[in-house]
Amino acid sequence: MNTEEHIYQLREELRQHNHNYYVLDTPTISDYEFDMKLKELQALEEKHPEFYDANSPTLRVGGEVTKNFETVVHDYRMYSLDNSYSKEDLMDWEARIKKLVDGSVSYTCELKYDGASISLTYEKGTLVRAVTRGDGIQGDDVTTNVKTIKSVPLKLQGAYPDRFDIRGEIVLPYEGFAKMNQARIAAGEEPYANPRNTASGSLKLQDSSETAKRPLDCLLYNLAGDRLGIDSQYESLTKARDWGFKVPEESRLVHSIDEVLAFVNYWDEKRRDLPYETDGVVIKVNDLLQQDELGFTAKAPRWAMAYKFKAEQAVTTLNEITYQIGRTGAITPVANLTPVQLAGTTVKRASLHNADQIEKLDIRVGDTVFVEKGGEIIPKIVGVDFTKRISSSEPTKYITSCPDCDTPLTRKEGEAQHYCPNDLGCPPQITGRIQHYIARKAMDIEGLGGETVALLVKEGLIENYADLYTLTKAQVIPLERMAEKSADNLIAGVAKSTEIPFERVLFALGIRYVGETVAKKLAKHYKHIDAIIAATEEELVQVDEIGSKIAQSVREFFTIEANRALIDRLKSYGVQLAITEEQLANQTNILSGQVIVVSGVFEKVSRNELKKMIEDNGGKVSSSISSKTTYLVAGANMGPSKLEKANKLGVSIISEDTFLSLLDT
């Protein structure tokens, strides 16, 4: 077997194992064996870029960055669904259908998955495009992100049609969602609200390697295309499964509305055992000819109907509204309830989101309220039983000043949240910021936990994170539950944090909107804290992925004298506030300000190496050609459309050798 055949064979093997693992859920080799094969393929591809394949299993890890998602018009419109809530609704629907079509009618019953809808286009068995639903007529091209979802086949198997679209739902299973949130909480970040929004947000991340890290799944249920050789919805589910798609197994073919209701009743209970959220059943006329006869209304197919499960609700009393203050000063109103059982847990508190929400629902203390649990971590209040309202009740007056420090609250134009602006004096903000600073993904200070931080603040031993570095053993030993050993650990842990690299320090500072990824970008671009402090808003937005909201927040942070004083102190304690010599050694600014597109395969270096060289030398890699592109580095077999676009826009096209000689000068 020659190298080329070997590469193809490995790709096919890995594709099959991916399918076994992610679609069929029955792996036939160990994770370790899989990794070894993947590594082998990676090494071969690295050595032989001439056999590059955009759909290789090695590219599932993502890496491509998209700044603006292109709008794409769907070849077949993505409709929404009509809803029904009772047996009567379904009987009415059936009666309407029977008037419009001849003969008996069968139905498929499918679960209604609660995620982000997606349309995938396949040509000659290869995934060519993934587009969000958008307004149903056009959506966003999110192909680079969708390719990282392991259950989405990049290549099909069996006898598939030449070209078709397949529709389905991208979901985030509960377990993966919970893990993501645990990690966020540990990092001092706000947890995500629910799996559905997080799934759809994941499709719009600019860095596809971030999407790759999320445990997303893709469930498919609808084919669209011409002459697919299929007669019924049920057949299309079976066929799609044969071609390698993850088509949920719960679907059933039934012949009456009574059978539909039996399916609904069964899953209303059983859905709690499913790994992801469902919010109803979708009933579809099975016969495609009958579907054609029925056609569409302006908004939805006449041949399909959604039946919504009743969300689990509990009724209880709202006893008090309290307010929580986050480390950024954001205020969250919390409902304190008479404890009640809901979906197997006791609920005592529920989120009220913000002032608008309270006003919209007219929620008042003393009210009898309906509480619901969706995918959210804490339940929410969805309504008030006005028949039970006591006559003496008063509309809720949202607080106007901070419950902790009494500072008048502010609210920015267009934002729903109120903030306590007293960053430096508000105790929960002070504690929250220090807790964020020491978190695992930030300074990762061993021997110091969130509760100890709260205690240290309460005892007046620290007021900010710089104070951590002047703590002495003698000061901490008298604290509750602090022994000789733990005091030593605390001091040592703080001292050791001076080894944490600049990008994480930048994240630890707790600048609003500067998360891990943004901190990385800023550190890489500016290399030194002083350069960031000196940067204007206009300069900051020039940095890749930095928008005006972030730029403004960074400026605001460093304009505050007290924050700059903190930075000076951190510097004096030896905290890393610049990229080290070693990190710098391989970097220059030769390509600063240049936007470079790389296309095709190369002889001397791999595409990835080329991209890294561009970034390390201050340039920016872009995946699409625009008027801003400085160079197109062209290799063998590059796409004709890129070439054409470059010519049209007058972008300089250079060879690999010319590019490498640029770096030599």
- Category of 7 on φ-ψ map: left (φ > 0), alpha (ψ -120 to 50) or beta: alpha
Question: Rounded to whole angstroms, how far apart are CA atoms 171 and 116?
Answer: 7
Question: Rounded to whole angstroms, how far apart are CA atoms 103 and 499?
Answer: 76
| H runs (alpha helix) in 527-606 | 529-534, 537-540, 548-559, 561-572, 581-585
Question: Rounded to whole angstroms, how far apart are CA atoms 487 and 447?
Answer: 8
By the 10 Å C-beta count (0-12 exposed, 13-18 middle, 19+ buried), 299 is classed as exposed
**Interface pick for Zn ion out of 189, 404, 446, 463 (rule CB under 5 A):** 404
**Interface pick for ligand AMP out of 221, 245, 419, 469 (rule CB under 6 A):** 221
Q: Pick one of Zn ion, ligand AMP, none as the site partner of residue 113 (Cβ within 5 to 8 A by kind).
A: ligand AMP
Which residue type is seen at 300? A
Backbone angles phi, psi at 339, to 5 degrees: -50, 140
* String of contacts with ligand AMP for each residue 269-298, x by CB under 6 A: -------------x----------------
Closest to 216 (Cα-Cα) out of 283, 130, 305, 156: 130
* Nearer to ligand AMP (CB atom), residue 43 or residue 73: 73
Q: Pick one of ligand AMP, Zn ion, none as the site partner of residue 216 (Cβ within 5 to 8 A by kind).
A: none
422 binds Zn ion (CB under 5 A): yes
Minimum distance of Zn ion from residue 420's CB (angstroms):
3
* Nearer to ligand AMP (CB atom), residue 282 or residue 363: 282
Tokens linked to 608: 């990835």
Q: Pick one of Zn ion, ligand AMP, none as the site partner of residue 402 (Cβ within 5 to 8 A by kind).
A: Zn ion
Q: Pick one of Zn ion, ligand AMP, none as the site partner of residue 132 (Cβ within 5 to 8 A by kind).
A: none
Question: Rounded to whole angstroms, how far apart are CA atoms 523 and 588?
Answer: 15
399 binds Zn ion (CB under 5 A): no
Question: Which region, judged by CB under 5 A, interacts with Zn ion, from 98-106, 410-418, 422-430, 478-486?
Answer: 422-430
Q: Pick one of Zn ion, ligand AMP, none as the site partner of residue 434 (Cβ within 5 to 8 A by kind).
A: none
* Nearer to ligand AMP (CB atom), residue 282 or residue 468: 282
Residue showing tokens 């899989």 = 34
Q: Which of 39, 67, 112, 380 is catalytic?
A: 112
Question: Rounded to whole angstroms, how far apart are CA atoms 615 and 169?
Answer: 35
Minimum distance of ligand AMP from residue 110's CB (angstroms):
4
112 has catalytic annotation: yes
* Nearer to ligand AMP (CB atom), residue 275 or residue 339: 275
* Nearer to ligand AMP (CB atom), residue 34 or residue 307: 307
Residue 515: count other Cβ atoms within 10 Å of its Cβ: 15
Q: Pick one of Zn ion, ligand AMP, none as the site partner of residue 404 (Cβ within 5 to 8 A by kind).
A: Zn ion
Cβ atoms of 527 and 520 within 8 Å: the answer is no
**Interface pick for ligand AMP out of 169, 235, 372, 503 (rule CB under 6 A):** 169
* Nearer to ligand AMP (CB atom), residue 199 or residue 363: 199
Tokens linked to 104: 């008996």
* String of contacts with ligand AMP for each residue 329-358, x by CB under 6 A: ------------------------------
Question: Rounded to whole angstroms, how far apart are CA atoms 225 and 235?
Answer: 14
Question: Rounded to whole angstroms, how far apart are CA atoms 500 and 477?
Answer: 26
* Nearer to ligand AMP (CB atom), residue 282 or residue 402: 282
Tokens linked to 112: 């209604």
Q: Pick one of ligand AMP, Zn ion, none as the site partner of residue 579 (Cβ within 5 to 8 A by kind).
A: none
**Interface pick for Zn ion out of 426, 494, 518, 621 (rule CB under 5 A):** 426
Minimum distance of ligand AMP from residue 541's CB (angstroms):
35
113 binds ligand AMP (CB under 6 A): yes
Q: What share of the chain is helix, strand, coil (3-state, %, to 5)?
A: 40, 20, 40
**Interface pick for ligand AMP out of 74, 133, 246, 607 (rule CB under 6 A):** 133
Which residue type is seen at 21? Y
Per DSSP, the three-state class of 72 is: strand
Per DSSP, the three-state class of 62 is: coil
Cβ atoms of 434 and 457 within 8 Å: the answer is yes
**Interface pick for Zn ion out of 420, 476, 509, 646 (rule CB under 5 A):** 420
Tokens linked to 119: 């349309």
642 binds ligand AMP (CB under 6 A): no
Question: Which region, judged by CB under 6 A, interacts with ligand AMP, from 108-116, 379-387, 578-586, 610-618?
Answer: 108-116
User: What H or E segment, with its residue span, contains residue 631?
Assistant: strand 631-634
Q: Pick one of ligand AMP, Zn ion, none as the site partner of residue 409 (Cβ within 5 to 8 A by kind).
A: none
Which residues, other chains included, contact 277 with Cβ-Cβ below 8 Å and sequence gap of 6+? 113, 114, 115, 171, 174, 195, 196, 374, 375
Q: Pick one of Zn ion, ligand AMP, none as the site partner of residue 405 (Cβ within 5 to 8 A by kind).
A: Zn ion
Question: Can you say how many angstroms the Cα of residue 558 is from the centroid of all Cα atoms in its chain?
Answer: 29
Minimum distance of Zn ion from residue 560's CB (angstroms):
16
Provide the edge-to-edge strand list for the sheet that holds 278-285.
Answer: 83-84, 304-308, 278-285, 107-113, 252-254
**Interface pick for Zn ion out of 382, 405, 601, 654 (rule CB under 5 A):** 405
Tokens linked to 453: 């931080």
* Nearer to Zn ion (CB atom), residue 410 or residue 592: 410
* Nearer to ligand AMP (CB atom), residue 277 or residue 367: 277
* Nearer to ligand AMP (CB atom), residue 18 or residue 232: 232
Minimum distance of ligand AMP from residue 169's CB (angstroms):
5
**Interface pick for ligand AMP out of 94, 110, 235, 503 (rule CB under 6 A):** 110
**Interface pick for ligand AMP out of 41, 81, 305, 321 (rule CB under 6 A):** 81
Cβ atoms of 542 and 549 within 8 Å: the answer is no
* String of contacts with Zn ion for each residue 165-204, x by CB under 5 A: ----------------------------------------
Question: Which region, judged by CB under 5 A, interacts with Zn ion, from 198-206, 297-305, 356-364, 405-413?
Answer: 405-413
Question: Rounded to whole angstroms, how far apart are CA atoms 414 and 426?
Answer: 24
Q: Pick one of ligand AMP, Zn ion, none as the site partner of residue 117 (Cβ within 5 to 8 A by kind).
A: ligand AMP
Q: Give the interface size with ligand AMP as a residue count (CB under 6 A).
A: 12
DSSP category for residue 23 = I
Q: Pick one of Zn ion, ligand AMP, none as the site partner of residue 81 (Cβ within 5 to 8 A by kind).
A: ligand AMP
Question: Rounded to whole angstroms, how far apart are CA atoms 36 and 25?
Answer: 20
Closest to 504 (Cα-Cα) out of 571, 593, 441, 560: 441
Interaxial angle between packed helices 195-203 and 174-186, expressed in degrees from 0 to 180 and rounded to the nearest 10:
80
Question: Would you tell me which residues interact with Zn ion (CB under 5 A)?
Answer: 402, 404-405, 420, 422, 426
Question: Would you tell me which residues interact with ligand AMP (CB under 6 A)?
Answer: 80-81, 110, 112-113, 117, 133, 169, 221-222, 282, 306
Instruction: Report the catalytic residues.
Output: 112
